Structure 1
């Protein structure tokens, strides 16, 4: 087998999905982003995808409890839970990770991190993101780089803001208003395209507007 190649063995006995991956080791840093207290959204998405790719999501969601009865499955669960715990700890800055070291399951670490750092519905965080978006201009960035940064900030704002529409019509009108805000900030050479985009009906999404440019 080639170096770095992965081989999985899976079964569902006892409710435990058995996964053996040659590249899985405790020292592996599964996320390019380390949790520092201010980047939870990107960190959790990155770690969640890496863990899901190894079919171990149940350890962070809590949907894969410690099995009873079968000693081999019990031992496997202890091992895989510890593996996921180590991945999560290694994906945090040392000043952050020390507060999670004494927790005994990956699910507890994942839940505690969300409770401490997710800030979902945090109006202060949403306000800071709106400030960044209002001041964000294309300037010397390429269109692709500007779009990537703009899209990332809007996705974060969608996560943090607490607005909930009462009915579907209100939700549609709100989304249309938001999408119009998202095409601002382009350089002057794109003014004609921006006018065309703003005059479209139905109004395009940010992705659709980017495709038009």
Structure 2
């Protein structure tokens, strides 16, 4: 019995090709951009990040940062390097606005092209740092917890790019035995946690106190997870309160025996009694099987309010008929 070795051989060739910085696939051409992000002169931080990720994925970052040097003209790799270098330049050009790319058309190499772009747009750290530090003072306001956290997270990430921890060039960090770098990162995490919770609305004061008094302190991501759960619980509580208010209204009569014509909902808006009558038939209690309310406001489960006993004693036959009709029990 013989076995074909064609598939493994092809797989090995594909891996070898992608490991080769001079490899270009059939889909690589000078007419398209490798990223869906356009540089407009004001978004260098994000554009720089997206470009580097795309080039790393294609094993072409060496052309950008200059680590893949240009071979001698008599080298067998000279034409390969030249072809790939110009391909990378075209990719960069296609990811920039036309008015900007025209300033770099005569660059001799990708490295020169990139160096000139960085010199013009990549050294504005101080104004950008000031802007981002100001944004870190933002408060939640009318944003959800997720929206508020996402806004802060983006600011943190961009500040890290602008003013991240300096790299150690002497090798001391690698030999450090006191976990200095770990403690620096932990301190940065604590500061982010404080910034995050300090901007939350007053609705979360108790949760903020519990988070900051925990030992050990939770990470920012874990705090975000807890606050999302609290947010959902608060929203459910509001729904239950509104449902309970409506059920109470349907069973309440005035001293003259007539039902109030309008009432204030939980949001402060006026609702006509006829609207309430129409809405009550849209809901059915899974516990008592009556219409007009749900389980979270069923008196048989949550208990009977004081006004129920008072009104029942005052006019028991009429009240019983009304309650039975409205489905409050």
- TM superposition score category, shorter chain reference: 0.7 to 0.9
Distance 2:155 2:139 in 1: 10
Structure-2 residue corresponding to 1:81: 85
Q: Which has the higher helix share?
A: 2
Structure-1 residue corresponding to 2:132: 129
Deviation at 1:150, TM superposition (A): 1.5
3-state SS of the aligned residue for 1:158? helix
Question: Hey, which bits of structure 1, 4+ residues long, moved more than 6 A?
Answer: none
Deviation at 1:188, TM superposition (A): 4.1
Distance 1:136 1:92 in 2: 34
Distance 1:113 1:200 in 2: 47
3-state SS of the aligned residue for 1:70? coil
Asked which structure has the greater RCO (Cα within 8 Å, sep 6+), the reply is 1
Q: TM-score, normalised to structure 2's length?
A: 0.53
| Cα RMSD, aligned residues only | 2.9
Distance 1:64 1:162 in 2: 26
| Cα deviations by residue, 1:38-68 (Å, 9 ceiling, x for unpaired) | 2111101101111111111111111111223
Distance 1:79 1:44 in 2: 23
Contact 1:58/1:64 (<8 A) preserved: yes
Structure-2 residue corresponding to 1:180: 194
Q: Does 1:206 align with 2:206?
A: no
Cα–Cα, structure 1 residues 163 and 82, in superposed 2: closer, same or farther, change >3 Å?
closer
Structure-1 residue corresponding to 2:24: 20
Which runs of structure 2 are paired with 1:1-213 in the superposition (5 Å)? 10=17, 17-68=21-72, 69-71=74-76, 73-119=77-123, 122-137=125-140, 139-140=142-143, 142-161=144-163, 168=180, 171=184, 175=188, 176-213=190-227
Aligned length: 199
Deviation at 1:136, TM superposition (A): 4.5
Contact 1:183/1:206 (<8 A) preserved: no
Contact 1:9/1:20 (<8 A) preserved: no
Contact 1:34/1:92 (<8 A) preserved: yes
Structure-2 residue corresponding to 1:3: none
- Structure number with larger C-alpha Rg: 2
Distance 1:150 1:40 in 2: 19
Cα–Cα, structure 1 residues 105 and 35, in superposed 2: closer, same or farther, change >3 Å?
same
3-state SS of the aligned residue for 1:10? helix
Q: Unaligned 5+ residue runs, structure 2?
A: 1-13, 167-177, 228-329
3-state SS of the aligned residue for 1:134? coil
Q: TM-score, normalised to structure 1's length?
A: 0.78
Contact 2:192/2:220 (<8 A) preserved: no
Contact 2:64/2:114 (<8 A) preserved: yes
Cα–Cα, structure 1 residues 136 and 76, in superposed 2: closer, same or farther, change >3 Å?
farther
Deviation at 1:162, TM superposition (A): 7.6
| Cα deviations by residue, 1:176-198 (Å, 9 ceiling, x for unpaired) | 33431133333444333322222
* Most deviating of 124-133 and 111-120: 111-120
Deviation at 1:11, TM superposition (A): 7.9
Distance 1:55 1:163 in 2: 26
Contact 1:35/1:91 (<8 A) preserved: yes
Deviation at 1:138, TM superposition (A): 5.3
